[in-house]
């Protein structure tokens, strides 16, 4: 491959990055996401206390210089638990969406490329999964598997598989009619090589956009399962579980609900702004 060919491959991504940088809202979203990622990575260094440290004599203390976000019903420092909670929520979001992307993309590629009865079977599976409200389906899956953070991630991954599957299926139906795919078939290239060297690379843009938006959705779904007691179990500092544990003290100690709720809101906002910016940068139809 010569230099000109390399520039032709790299330039669309460089152009997308330049477009992304011009979007102030997208940069704000990226900044928020990076802030929480850094909190998650360096939680052990940043958090002033351990998330398990209890002081019953100091329960429900309001925000102060010693406990910036106050304390909960067990005297645990809420700031420390929110910081460690970033690690839990982001891990759930990234791992659950990664599983959805892998399984959904694989099924979508197969359905879109081979068509006929294969497409019919896979599409009906997607339709069945989409027929149920996503949160109810997640609750049912966790109820069968048992309440835990790992099972919550599995449930979130399953309910998001149809989203990526149908997205990639529609993309493959368009891409497989391109001339370079016909040429690849004509020279005897195998289906596997065509799918993973030509079809998939040319279908990445919508997957990247949907993935960034789905992480925000996954964090909300994990918080909802945690709030219902089906996700993370005590003393894991998951934001949704923190809200559930504090709902009975919302009047006498509102800070126990406020700060975990703000953390969820800001993280979801960051991923949504970043996802919108990626959509505008990667979708040619959005460019002016």
Q: What is the pLDDT of residues 158-180, one digit of tens each?
A: 999 999 988 888 888 877 777 77
288 has pLDDT over 60: no
Which of 38-47, 65-74, 106-115, 177-186 shows the lowest per-residue confidence on average (mean pLDDT)? 177-186
Q: Mean pLDDT throughout 272-284?
A: 79
Which pair of tokens denotes residue 234? 């005590």
Q: Which domains, ranges and CATH numbers included, belong to the chain?
A: 23-286 (1.10.3720.10)
Distance CA 216, CA 227 (A): 17
CA 260 to each of CA 104, 116, 247: distance values in angstroms, whole numbers, following the listed order: 31, 48, 12
Q: What is the pLDDT of residue 12?
A: 65
Q: What is the pLDDT of residue 28?
A: 92
Q: Mean pLDDT throughout 92-105?
A: 91
Q: How confident is the model at residue 13 (pLDDT cuts 50, 70, 90)?
A: low
DSSP string, 207-237: HHHHHHHHHHHHHHHHHHHHHTTSSS-TT--
Q: How confident is the model at residue 284 (pLDDT cuts 50, 70, 90)?
A: low
Q: What is the pLDDT of residue 281?
A: 76
pTM, to two decimals: 0.82
């Amino acid at each position: 491959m010569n230099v000109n060919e390399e520039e032709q491959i790299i330039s669309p991504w460089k152009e997308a990055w330049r477009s992304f940088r011009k979007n102030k809202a997208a940069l704000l979203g990226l900044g928020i996401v990076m802030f929480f990622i850094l909190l998650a990575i360096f939680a052990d260094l940043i958090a002033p206390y351990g998330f398990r440290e209890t002081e019953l004599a100091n329960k429900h203390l309001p925000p102060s210089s010693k406990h910036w976000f106050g304390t909960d019903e067990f005297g645990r420092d809420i700031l420390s638990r929110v910081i460690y909670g970033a690690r839990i929520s982001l891990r759930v979001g990234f791992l659950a969406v990664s599983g959805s992307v892998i399984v959904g993309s694989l099924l979508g590629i197969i359905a879109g490329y081979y068509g006929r009865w294969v497409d019919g079977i896979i599409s009906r599976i997607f339709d069945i999964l989409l027929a149920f409200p996503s949160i109810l389906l997640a609750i049912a899956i966790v109820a069968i598997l048992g309440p835990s953070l790992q099972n919550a991630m599995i449930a979130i991954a399953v309910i998001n598989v149809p989203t990526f599957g149908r997205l990639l299926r529609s993309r493959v139906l368009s891409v497989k009619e391109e001339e370079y795919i016909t040429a690849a078939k004509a020279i005897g290239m195998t289906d596997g090589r065509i799918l993973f060297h030509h079809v998939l690379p040319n279908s990445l843009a919508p997957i990247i956009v949907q993935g960034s938006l789905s992480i925000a959705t996954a964090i909300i779904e994990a918080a909802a399962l945690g709030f219902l007691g089906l996700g993370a179990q005590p003393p894991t500092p998951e934001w949704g579980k923190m809200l559930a544990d504090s709902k009975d003290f919302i009047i006498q100690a509102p800070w126990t609900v406020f700060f975990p709720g703000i953390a969820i809101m800001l993280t979801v906002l960051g991923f949504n702004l970043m996802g919108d910016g990626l959509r505008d940068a990667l979708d040619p139809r959005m460019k002016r």
